[in-house]
Amino acid sequence: MVRPLDDLTAELPAAAAFDHAARLERFSATLGHTGFAAAIVSQPQDLYYLTGTAQPCNLVVVPGAQPVLLARRFADLAEAEAVGVPVRSGAGFAAVGRELQRRGVRAGRLGLELDVIPAALYRRAAHAFPSFELDDCAAPLLRQRAVKDELEVACLRAAAARFALVHETLVSHLRAGVSELELAAEVERVLRRAGHAGLVAQRRWDAALQPEGTLASGPNLSTISGGPITVSGVGLSRATPFGASARRVASRDLVNIDLGINVAGYHADMARTYAVGGVCERTAELAHAVRTIQDAILARVRPGVATADVYHAGVAAAHEAGCGDFFQGHGAHHGPYVGHGIGLELDEPPVLGPHANGAVGAGMVLAIEPKLISPGFGAVNLEDDVVVTAAGAELLSRVPRAVFAVDGVGGLAEALR
């Protein structure tokens, strides 16, 4: 049963409760300590994190001076929404240059979000600021964003709680003859009514994801297509080669759903696998294996543990379970990760992979996603979100960590773990 939207949003913190000014002050101090003369922040999620508005603006940050938010458009809305920073109208780098001149900044390292700004914009910045050395300021900002405060965790917890609606929808509607697209549409309908923003923010320039995520069944489960190495589905056309297709589910199929849920700008990222109308012995074995692997990963998620060590714990558990050859992919395609950060974007640092630097920290919120993928059986996927505490990993969702067998007439037959 979908709860009224007013009831679902009552648990969210008020927008004005976030301490954007403290975040901005900390970022400014980091810029100063790392030798930046100034920085320009313009990516919407970064802007929202630092100022409380995602309106189209350029945030000019000079260490030791008051920052200013230059509204490229909609200055009245930006002024009404922004917290702890003055707002002025000003489009383009000319307006930024005037603010830098006003603060006596004429040369030095100028920070830009080099991981996301288009090359054409970078060239314009290089032309507009010839006396400056353009350098990346996104990395220190993303490191700051990786550790969430209590209000951010509350938003992420609320987003993860919506996955229970996804689970209820799959159990109720999954049966032989229904199409992947019909299931996906029902998931989207339920989530949008529950406050899912319908937009999944991702930082990669070539990334995209439907609001209902990726839903795949039967042979489509083992086709890795269109983006990251995961259970992608095949989509409706070659133009969008991932997500739900028109394929109709058959009895004894496995069906997987993996999606981001955006509530108040913060993204949960969860996945479950369902068996339709009965479970074979092999599916039961795989369900137990993927749960055992996730348990091993979760046991290593605690403050101070190297992110690479978390990854290696998952790989070791997969090999011990006899699943190493199809852990995180198959054949030539194996994803070198077992999880990642989540927050204002679906995929955030840290990446829990073999080449990752750094360590898990208290306050990080991570998606832990072991998956077994093979043309022989399809895929079994188990993804859960956790907040890192001094005691370890605290789950954000109450949906059981299991592969679910549904009876095909709207009921749940059993949970395999």
Q: What is the pLDDT of residues 311-321, one digit of tens each?
A: 999 999 999 99
Residue finishing a domain among 101, 124, 145: 145
How far apart (Å, rounded) are the C-alpha atoms in residues 396 and 394?
Answer: 6
Per residue in 76-134, pLDDT tens? 999 999 999 999 999 999 999 999 999 999 999 999 999 999 999 999 999 999 999 99
Give the pLDDT confidence score for residue 415 in this predicted structure. Answer: 86
Give the pLDDT confidence score for residue 350 in this predicted structure. Answer: 97
Residue with more model confidence, 277 or 36: 36
Sort strands 412-416 and 384-389 into parallel, antiparallel or unpaired: unpaired
CA-based radius of gyration for the chain: 23
Give the pLDDT confidence score for residue 373 in this predicted structure. Answer: 96
Indicate if 81 and 185 belong to the same structural domain: no
Q: In which domain, by residue range, is 258 found?
A: 149-416
Indicate if 263 and 400 belong to the same structural domain: yes
Please state whether the peptide bond connecting residue 13 to the residue before it is cis, i.e. omega within 30 degrees of 0.
no
Give the pLDDT confidence score for residue 16 in this predicted structure. Answer: 73
Indicate if 264 and 310 belong to the same structural domain: yes
Indicate if 293 and 256 belong to the same structural domain: yes
Per residue in 400-414, pLDDT tens? 999 999 998 888 878
Give the pLDDT confidence score for residue 10 in this predicted structure. Answer: 58
Asked if residue 281 is part of any domain, the answer here is yes
Domain count, the chain: 2
How far apart (Å, rounded) are the C-alpha atoms in residues 132 and 39?
Answer: 11
How far apart (Å, rounded) are the C-alpha atoms in residues 176 and 277?
Answer: 8
The strand pairing partners of 273, in sequence order, are 256
Indicate if 156 and 200 belong to the same structural domain: yes
| Count of beta carbons in the 10 Å neighbourhood of residue 246 | 12
205 burial type by CB count under 10 A (0-12 exposed, 13-18 middle, 19+ buried): exposed
The structure tokens listed for 85 are 């920073």
Question: What is the rounded end-to-end Cα distance, in angstroms, of the chain?
Answer: 26
Three-class DSSP category at 12: coil
DSSP 97-116: HHHHHHTT--SEEEEE-TTT
Mean local confidence (pLDDT), 43-67 = 97
Indicate if 374 and 296 belong to the same structural domain: yes
| Residue 340: CATH number of its domain | 3.90.230.10
Chain-centre distance of CA 306, in angstroms? 21
Per residue in 188-239, pLDDT tens? 999 999 999 999 999 999 989 999 999 999 999 999 998 888 999 999 999 9
Asked if residue 6 is part of any domain, the answer here is no
Indicate if 260 and 404 belong to the same structural domain: yes
Per residue in 351-381, pLDDT tens? 999 999 999 999 999 999 999 999 999 999 9
Residue with more model confidence, 10 or 274: 274
